[in-house]
Amino acid sequence: MTSFICTRLAQSILVLFIMSLLVFGGVNLVGDPVEMLINPEADQAEVERVIRELGLDRPVTEQYWYFLVNAFKGDLGSSFIFGEPALKLIIQRMPATLELALFSLFISLIIAIPLGIYAGYNPDSKASKVIMAGSIFGFSMPTFWVGIIFIMIFAVQLGWLPSTGRGEIGTFMGINSSLFTLNGLSHVFLPALNLALFKISSVIRLTRAGTREIILQDYITFARSKGISEKRVVLIHVLKNILIPIVTVVGLEFGSLIAFSTVTETVFAWPGMGKLIIDSIYNLDRPVIVAYLMIIVTFFVFLNLIVDIIYTFLDPRVRIKGDHQ
């Protein structure tokens, strides 16, 4: 067990190191930030001063070494555009992304679980077929395009909901979030629904498959033979048993919501990490690109590490296999 965790930890660190090399090396090959950042009217002396200040005159290897050393200190460089530490910029925008991802997770569960149970409970009904066909379309629909359609219908044509920004931000128990104000909620609704779409499709399929398995179990037959109403069978027995695998899978896939929020944030001008990275790529703001990629990769590497460790606790087979390696 310990050896398993150690191997995985070493592997995670190796992945991080390779990523740092790839990201830093790659970003340094793109464009010329000197041209992008310095006022074209600046004189030669001014240009040289800025180059020195940003460390762009050093050899790339040296720049990388400084980057590594500083990364360990938590200093990932300063944004060329904002003049602030890149790490700080990203952390400032993290709550907006997390709040969007959490709310869309909530929406997807609320919508998908009832539909999935229905489709699993009545697999041959017309409505179930519509639900399942809809879930294939949900997979096929490009998120950004659906977002555009949402904006067109609900913001431009009907004018019901705002389509850009985060809205008013409320404070509750020391946490700042737009989920705590009505105005903020109206802003988060469309982007969250948009982000939830692909999750809805997959949770419907998962729930349906689970429900079809569960209703064949003996305890469901037993519950029915006790004379419990069908409504109670579904709401108590089926729902309870289906929730465990769904919550596990969806919880573990939370990272993908954060990754996909990049797209949604760009469409809805949501001021989160995803929009920041797209803007930074557009502006060739190298320190922010590097910092974002390093942070997101670290996040995923450790998320996966934790998932692996939890799995070894839940499933002994993984543990045994790990010990053999």
Partner 1 sequence: MSPKLRKFLEFCKDFSSNKVALVAFFIFLLILFVAIFAPLVSPTDPYDLNTVSIMNSRLPPFSEDFSGNYFLLGTDGAGRDMVSAIFYGLRVSLGVGVLSGIFALIIGSFFGISAAFFGGRYESIIMRIVDIQLSFPSILVALIILAAFGKGIEKTIIALILVQWAYYARTARSSALVEINKEYVDAARCLAFGNTRIMFKHILPNCMAPLIVVGTLQTAHAISLEATLSFLGLGLPITEPSLGLLIGNGFEYMYSGDFWISIFPGVALLITVASINLVGDHLRDMFNPRLH
Is 143 an interacting residue with respect to partner 1 (CB under 8 A)?
yes
Q: Are 259 and 299 in contact (CB under 8 A)?
A: no
Q: Are 284 and 33 in contact (CB under 8 A)?
A: yes
> Any residues with CB less than 8 A from the CB of 269 and at least 6 apart, and which?
163, 164, 165, 275
Locate tokens 């996040």: which residue?
Answer: 299
Q: Rule CB under 8 A: choose which of 176, 248, 283, 304 binds partner 1.
A: 304
Site string for partner 1, 6-35 (x = CB under 8 A): -----x---x---x--xx-xxx-xxx----
- Picking from 268, 285, 298, 323, the residue whose alpha carbon sits closest to that of residue 36 is 285
Where residue 283 falls (left for φ over 0; alpha for ψ -120 to 50; beta otherwise) is alpha
Is 259 an interacting residue with respect to partner 1 (CB under 8 A)?
yes
Cβ closer to partner 1: 121 or 292? 292
> Any residues with CB less than 8 A from the CB of 57 and at least 6 apart, and which?
51
Cβ closer to partner 1: 158 or 173? 158
Is 149 an interacting residue with respect to partner 1 (CB under 8 A)?
yes
Helix (H) or strand (E) holding 37: helix 33-37
State the number of binding residues for partner 1 (CB under 8 A).
47
Supply 274's token pair.
């995803």
Cβ closer to partner 1: 145 or 222? 145
Cβ closer to partner 1: 121 or 260? 260
Handedness of CA 24, 25, 30, 32 (dihedral sign): positive
- Picking from 158, 162, 159, 156, the residue whose alpha carbon sits closest to that of residue 181 is 162
Is 127 an interacting residue with respect to partner 1 (CB under 8 A)?
no
Cβ closer to partner 1: 25 or 251? 25
Distance CA 79, CA 172 (A): 31
CB of 9 to partner 1, least distance (A): 14
Is 263 an interacting residue with respect to partner 1 (CB under 8 A)?
yes
- Picking from 276, 299, 286, the residue whose alpha carbon sits closest to that of residue 26 is 286
Helix (H) or strand (E) holding 211: helix 182-214
CB of 160 to partner 1, least distance (A): 15
Is 51 an interacting residue with respect to partner 1 (CB under 8 A)?
no
Q: Rule CB under 8 A: choose which of 56, 169, 297, 318 binds partner 1.
A: 297
Is 300 an interacting residue with respect to partner 1 (CB under 8 A)?
yes
Distance CA 289, CA 291 (A): 6
Stretch near partner 1 under the rule CB under 8 A, chosen from 67-75, 109-117, 216-224, 288-296: 288-296
Q: Rule CB under 8 A: choose which of 46, 142, 171, 306 binds partner 1.
A: 142
Residues at the contact surface with partner 1, assessed by CB under 8 A: 11, 15, 19, 22-23, 25-27, 29-31, 133, 136-137, 139-145, 148-149, 151-152, 156-157, 255-256, 259-260, 262-263, 266-267, 277-278, 281-282, 289, 292-293, 296-297, 300, 304, 325
